[in-house]
Amino acid sequence: LDEKLFRAASAEVHRQLPEFQPQQIANTTWAMAKSGFVDEELFQAAAKLSLQKLGEFQPMNYSMLLYSFALAKLPHPELFEEVGRKCTITSLSSALSAPHVLTNLALAYSEASVTNVAVFDAIAAVASSSLYDFRTQQIATLAQAFAKAHVRHEKFFESVSNVVVHRLSEFKQHDMQDLLYAYQQLDLSTVSILKAQQWQDQPPTSLPWLAV
């Protein structure tokens, strides 16, 4: 992206921002954070407008918004705190694309070094009952976010272990490595996962019911 073009686009967004709806605000900050060209003044204006319109935000909107701020490395404690109040089990359970929303929220709070225990508890509660809807990469990413935030939620990780054991063949090697490292960081047991891996790696002739 050409910097001159970016500056012109940023100025136009500044002009139109007051009329933006929640999804437009989130899309704008997300695109800017991903581009690498971050207009801090625009982010601050977006945060102020978001706080004013927070009642209109859906989980998909505010999860993307917070992750944008984390990705841009722009802290905004008030925004993270107020969005955190909206992250209840009820609201997150009803979210469209819940795996995406929960993963974005966990990443946002962990990357921004904002440890909001209530938010992680809500994420854990909702994710635990829907992990089969998550892609394996999302499960690994979620575990890494909990580890980075130093949230040792044993019940959640028990649910993760159970799902990993049943979906072991779906995990790519690097995702499994990231997942196990998250367990290691939090000093959580990986016995069930490692046993499942050993079982999976056995040649067919070594399985009891196939032995001659």
Is the pLDDT confidence value at 206 over 70? no
| pLDDT tens digits for range 3-22 | 777 788 888 888 999 999 99
Give the model's confidence band at 203: pLDDT under 50 very low, under 70 low, under 90 confident, else very high. low
Is the pLDDT confidence value at 208 over 70? no
What pLDDT does 212 receive? 33
Phi, psi of 71 (to 5 degrees): -65, -35
Strand spans (E) along 76-207: none
| pLDDT tens digits for range 113-136 | 998 999 999 999 999 999 999 999
What CA dihedral angle connects 89, 91, 95 and 100, to 10 degrees?
-50
3-state helix, strand, coil split of the chain in percent (to 5) is: 75, 0, 25
Check: pTM over 0.85? Answer yes or no. Answer: yes
Burial 165-193 (b: 16+ CB within 10 A, else e): eeeeeebeeebbebbbebbeebebebeeb
Mean pLDDT of 160-169: 96
8 Å CB contact between 58 and 100:
no
Is the pLDDT confidence value at 195 over 80? yes
Distance CA 38, CA 72 (A): 7
Give the model's confidence band at 199: pLDDT under 50 very low, under 70 low, under 90 confident, else very high. confident
What pLDDT does 209 receive? 43
What pLDDT does 200 receive? 78
Q: Among residues 183, 138, 178, which one has the least CA distance to residue 157?
A: 183
| pLDDT tens digits for range 53-108 | 999 999 999 999 999 999 999 989 999 999 999 999 999 998 888 999 999 999 99
